[in-house]
Amino acid sequence: MIIRSVRLKDFISHANTKVDFPLGVTVLVGPNGAGKTSILDAVIYALFGEKVRGDKVEDLIRRGCNSAEVEVVFEHNNLVYKVKLERKKKSVDAFLERDGFEVAREFDKVQEEISKIIEMDKATAIRSIIVRQGEIAGLLEEDPKERKRLFGRLLGIESLEEAWTNMKELIDYFSEKAKDYDKKQFELTSNKQNIANLINELNSLKEKITELEEKLSEKSQEQEKVKKEVEDLKKREEEYKKLDKELTEVRKEKEIRNKFLEKTKKNLEEARKAKIEADKLKSYVKKIPLLEKLKNLSELIENKTQILKEKEEELNRIQGYKSELSKTKDSYNEYIMLEMNIGELKKKIESFKGFAEQKVETQTKLNNFKDALASYSKELEELKNEILKYLPEATIEAKRNELERLRKEKDEAEKRLSECEEKKGKLKGQTKKIEEYLKILGESSICPVCKSNLTPEHREKVKKDFQKEIESLNSDLEKLKKDLKELNDKKKAIENELDKVQKLNVERVQTLQDEIKKCNSNIEKLNRELEELKPKVEELESAKNKLRELEQRQSELKNDYERYISAQRALEKERSKEEVSLELEKLNKELENLEKDRERLIEKIGYLPSDPEKELSDLKKIEEEYNKLVGISSQIEELERTEREQEEKIRDIGKREETILNEIKKLDFSKEKLEEAEKRLSQIGAEISSLDAVINDKKEQKKKKEDEINSKKEKIERLEKEIERLEKIRKFVKDLEIIRNAFSRDGIQKLIREKAAPIMSYYAREYLEKFNLDITDITISEDFDVSIIKGGEEIPISSLSGGEKVAVAIALRLAIAKVMAGKISTIIMDEPTTHLDEERRKELVEIMKRFFSEEASIPQMIIITHHSELEDAADRVYRVEKIGGISRVVEEY
């Protein structure tokens, strides 16, 4: 696989980056944190779906953006493919095409298709193509144990070891699950025995139920026979009750009619007595109409006399109102004249009132503008004073220039901080490495650095040299910490000043100046308007003074005016004097005639009643008694007719009573017979209920037994399935143990080592030949021990020069990749010079120049580094830098 190009949009720190990768060596160089490794991250994410940065996938999206895009174009077997990924915050879109035609869509399907194309799973591809930081140096410079672990990790053996370890826990888990097998077998046997016992008990219950049901059938037949007898007696009982009820009703009717006849005879006697009493009261009742007429006539004369008095009062009132009008007439007329003059003045004042309001409104506006002018002026002065503390002038341009200056200073400080942090990390790493050397040194007779033999004196000298170097490194660290503190303080000061400058409201200065100009213009305009309104407002005040004088005089006349109005309104409501006088004359004549009529009525009665009201009341009571007696006596004929009819009906009822008694006798019904039959029926019913209860109880027991049997059957079925499952688990545990043994160091791991070691030796030897060194052979054993042959003799790795170590390490790493992937087209090295000093970095460059000077075994190599020395080995160099938090890639050659 050859990578042709990578395009990033809003990916980690890249806003819009495109990088082309030709054949040969391409170097991406730049300081730490510039965004070099982000390009490698994009390739890994697009081709293999591996996230290498942050805790969340969303961390791949550049801060402030909603999505990130990656496009990688690669070539395999002379076919060109393009994979595009768009990572959103909650989803990812993926697309793979070949020569413009769609191959796959959706993230998982695209990754699956890429694995098929390059004929490698992603783990193998990543291990074979990508050389991570520290791997090259570690292959030779780590202690033998760590070196073997690194070989194992690169070949995938380490994952087999992990699988072997992890499977122990899995085997233990399933072994624990399978330990209940014997217990379940015993439980199954026990349940099968229980179900046999339950079936015997169920058969016994079925026989008992059959016996009880036969007895119940006999009792049911007997019950049916007695039931018919009871039904017949109940029918006769109904007929008996019907006749008895009818007899009761006949006798009751006979009794009622006898009582009614007795009452009728009594009422007839009382009616005859009432007729005699009514004849005695008749003469008194005839006086009542004459007394009532006398009473009504007296009341009419009294009413007419009262009306006469009211008319006389009305005539006196009319004459009083006319006198009041005469007294207040002049005052009324003057008040009316004043009312007209006041009205005209008010109209004039109303017409001028708008000028006064306009003057007040104009004055208010003027005051408001003056207040605003003072406020704006004060704010402008304070704002300018604040701005000029930080800017040469209060303009937007000055603020923009200052912000740009401060941001550049901040970027410079951050860059220096990053460089210092990198130096600090290197110093700490060197200190830690020397301290480890001191620990290893101890009483050892071999130098941990050069692997040469040590005498006690030499060992002490090496210890002192190491100690001095640690002290020197600590001194450098302390100085670096001081520089870091100063840089951090400077950065904070810049950020603080930047924050203050950003908050300066320069735009407000121009706004305030515009507002002050508007205020001055409006104040001048309003002053002119006030001068124009002044004479009109003075004329308004003169009219108001005149109005107050007229209203004062009107107030003095108001009492007489209101008296005139009141008398006039009252007189309007009264009738004319002539009309009232005429009515008085008419009323006097009517009273005279009524008095004559009353005298004539007294003569007719024969006397003048001393108290007509009381005498009439007494006669009314007599009249009531008279009317009552007349009413009673009027019923005599009706009562005589009723008496005759009741006597006839009582005779008919007697005959009906005799007929019913004869029918009851013929019926032959006895209540005792019915009670005896019902008692026998109840006893049989109780026996049937008892039998039903026993049968139901037996059936319930039968159902419980059946349920228990079914439950046992289900439990047996579950146990059989559980035993079957446990048997499978036991077999699975045995299979797992076999598989685990296969994954052990003596299994597949050993097989891989046996197969891989000679192949790696072959390819390592082949690659070393291209470096043109005097190393004649290299061998990797099954335990990944590396043997170097030089001048026909095996030499220790520690005796190799720095350049030879780098060459051997690269040959080993390429050989491992070859074993993993077959033919290698692309190798990507991420910071290969990590842990290499300057001299060995230069040697690495020379080795790589020689490696690619002839026909390259590997067509394409991509190197990511922060060391500029590697540029000398490159066919193309890209400079990566970060400006304003955004990574930028520039092609240098």
**Which distant-in-sequence residues (6+ apart) come within 8 Å of 557 by Cβ?**
331, 334, 335, 338
Quick check: helix, strand or coil at residue 701? helix
CA distance 555 to 813: 123
> What token pair was written down for 692?
């039903």
Delineate the domains of the chain, giving CATH numbers in brackets. Answer: 2-173+746-891 (3.40.50.300), 290-389+513-573 (no CATH), 407-503 (1.10.287.510)
Question: What is the Cα gyration radius of the chain?
Answer: 66
Which tens digit of pLDDT belongs to each residue from 62-84?
Answer: 888 989 999 999 998 889 999 99
* 363 touches 530 (CB < 8 A): yes
Across the chain, which has 893 residues, the per-10-residue mean pLDDT values are 92 92 90 88 88 67 90 90 90 89 90 86 77 70 68 70 75 76 80 82 84 84 84 82 85 86 84 81 76 81 84 82 84 85 83 79 87 88 88 87 87 83 77 71 55 64 78 84 86 87 85 89 87 81 83 86 85 82 84 82 77 78 79 82 83 83 79 82 85 86 86 85 82 78 73 78 78 80 81 80 76 76 76 73 73 63 86 88 90 84
Which tens digit of pLDDT belongs to each residue from 13-32?
Answer: 999 999 999 988 899 999 88
CA distance 855 to 842: 22
pLDDT for 443 equals 56
pLDDT for 134 equals 66
Q: Is the pTM of this model over 0.75?
A: no
The identity of residue 731, as a single letter, is K
DSSP conformation class of 668: -
Q: Alpha-carbon dihedral of residues 711, 717, 720, 721, nearest 10 degrees?
A: -120
pLDDT for 851 equals 62
CA distance 214 to 550: 130
* 801 touches 810 (CB < 8 A): no
Strand partners, 20: 5
Sheet holding 793-795, edge to edge: 775-780, 786-790, 793-795
CA distance 874 to 592: 155
pLDDT for 854 equals 47
Burial of 861 (0-12, 13-18, 19+ CB in 10 A): buried
Nearest Cα residue to 1 out of 109, 112, 114, 110:
114
CA distance 84 to 71: 4
**Which distant-in-sequence residues (6+ apart) come within 8 Å of 725 by Cβ?**
none
Nearest Cα residue to 4 out of 69, 75, 70:
75
* Residue whose pair of structure tokens reads 């908050």 in the numeric block: 503
Nearest Cα residue to 780 out of 152, 102, 8, 38:
152
